[in-house]
Every structure is written in C-alpha cells, then in structure tokens.
Amino acid sequence: MSESSNVFFHMRNIVKSYALGDEEAVILKGVCLDIRRGEYLSVLGPSGSGKSTLMNIIGCLDKPTSGEYILNGSLIDDLTEQELARIRSREVGFIFQNSQMLPKLDAMKNVELPLIYAGVRPRERARRAEEMLVKVGLQERLHHKPNMLSGGQQQRVAIARALVTRPTLLLADEPTGALDQTTGAQIMGLFQELNDDGNTIIMITHDLKVARNARRMVNIIDGELSESEEATLS
C-alpha cells in the first residue's frame, strides 16, 4: 500500500480565529496534523486550549479561517453545506463532550437517528441500532429514555450512536470526562477494541492518564499543536 492512500486526513497551518469586537481572538495558531487510517490518536490539552474547536474542524462541523484541510482526498473548504452533511453522515462518528441525547427518545431511537438521515429503512435501522447497543453492553436498556440511564450508560448510547453508521473516523470529545474511573476504564476498553477492529479514533482529553490509552499522543497548548514525547501505553 502506498503512503498516500494510507493518509486519512491532512492539515496544514490551520488557523481559527473569532472577531471579538475590534480585536481578533486566534484560537488555533497554525495547526498541522496528518492522520493515517487505523490510527488511535489522543489530543491532550488544558481547558480552553482549543481542543473542541479543532475537533469541530476535523469533523467538518466548522471551517477553518485559513489553512488547508484535506479529508479523504477532498479539500473541505470547497464543499457545500450539503456535502459536509454527507461527510458527517457517512465518514464521521461524533461523541460530544456531554453525550448529548434527545430526551424524548429512548436509547434505540437515539441510536437510530443518524441512520434516518442516511436514508436507512426502518427494519435495517432497528437491527443495526440494536446490534450497536448490544456491542456497548446495553442490551437490557434498549427502550430506556436518557433520564432513566446513568451517565456511563448515556455515554455508551452516545458511542453506539457514533458507531452505528460505521464511520471511518470516530471523534470523541472528553468521552470519560463525566464518568467515574471504572466506567471510564470500560469505555477505554471499548475504544481499544474498536481500534483493533480497524477504526480510526481521535480522542480529546485534558487528562494525561486517559490520553495514554491512545497509540499516538499530541499536545495542544494555547492553540498550538505539538507531537508528544510522552510514552503511551501501547
């Protein structure tokens, strides 16, 4: 396999800034990052350093102010809203900071949601959602609404929802932030399995111990990204 076909995405000098009155707040200061297929990367940085901002750009929720971002061979800057939505639907699975679920829907329906927008038919949808929930160990909680689930269970529903479209890239923003250590460890185990199955994972965290679960680690401080010297577990 050639080097280029293995590159999943490629970022050069990504800058993200916001106009704050007369001044300009530069959040990402020229980030460069290359990811290969099957990689498991953690992005470690203190709160406010721009981790979520970076993740939003990687997941095509947001566009950089300047810089070059090529995902799967296409230049993101050139794409329309609709094309970006397609990428989010097909390529990316998000796990947000607060495992955001729709409160009126049960676990199954929450997991089915991305499949609805991908145009998957009801029976197939239910089958895949159930399969995913079983995989994250929630076979007993299929029809529980979010308020009947613990934080760890909600996080697992969020993971099932992120994985149900079989994305090529899993983006997790502080996936263990709201969890106790045991549950956090379970989630990390699940990530490891997913990575062993060939999923590309980018995990954002402010916790060095959590970051060490990944095979590769980068630090982000005040919008500047650097490869970490720190040894990871694997």
Ligand X SMILES: Nc1ncnc2c1ncn2[C@@H]1O[C@H](COP(=O)(O)OP(=O)(O)O)[C@@H](O)[C@H]1O
Positions in 52-81 near Mg ion (CB under 5 A): 52
Residue 55 C-beta: closest distance to ligand X, Å? 8
User: Among residues 159 and 172, whose Cβ is nearest to Mg ion?
Assistant: 172
Contacts with another protein, residue ranges (CB under 8 A): 56, 59, 61-62, 81-82, 85-86, 88-90, 94, 96-98, 100, 102, 104, 113-114, 116-122, 161, 165
18 binds, among another protein, ligand X, Mg ion, none (CB under 5 to 8 A by kind): ligand X
Residue 114 C-beta: closest distance to another protein, Å? 4
122 binds, among another protein, Mg ion, ligand X, none (CB under 5 to 8 A by kind): another protein
102 binds, among Mg ion, another protein, ligand X, none (CB under 5 to 8 A by kind): another protein
Q: Let me know: does 225 contact 219? Beta carbons within 8 Å.
A: yes
Q: Which residues contact 204 (CB under 8 A, 6 or more apart)?
A: 42, 43, 45, 51, 52, 54, 55, 171, 172, 173, 174
123 binds, among ligand X, another protein, Mg ion, none (CB under 5 to 8 A by kind): none
Residue 85 C-beta: closest distance to Mg ion, Å? 23
Residue 209 C-beta: closest distance to ligand X, Å? 18
Contacts with ligand X, residue ranges (CB under 6 A): 18, 25, 27, 45, 47-53
Q: Let me know: does 8 contact 168? Beta carbons within 8 Å.
A: yes
Q: DSSP labels for the chain?
A: --HHHHEEEEEEEEEEEEEETTEEEEEEEEEEEEEETT-EEEEE--TTSSHHHHHHHHTTSS--SEEEEEETTEEGGG--HHHHHHHHHHTEEEE-TT----TTS-HHHHHHHHHHHTT--HHHHHHHHHHHHHHTT-GGGTT--GGGS-HHHHHHHHHHHHHTT--SEEEEESTTTTS-HHHHHHHHHHHHHHHHTT-EEEEEES-HHHHTTSSEEEEEETTEEEE--SPP--
Positions in 27-56 near Mg ion (CB under 5 A): 52
User: Among residues 53 and 195, whose Cβ is nearest to ligand X?
Assistant: 53
User: Among residues 83 and 227, whose Cβ is nearest to another protein?
Assistant: 83
> Does position 99 bind Mg ion by CB under 5 A?
no
User: Among residues 33 and 133, whose Cβ is nearest to Mg ion?
Assistant: 33
**Contacts with Mg ion, residue ranges (CB under 5 A):** 52
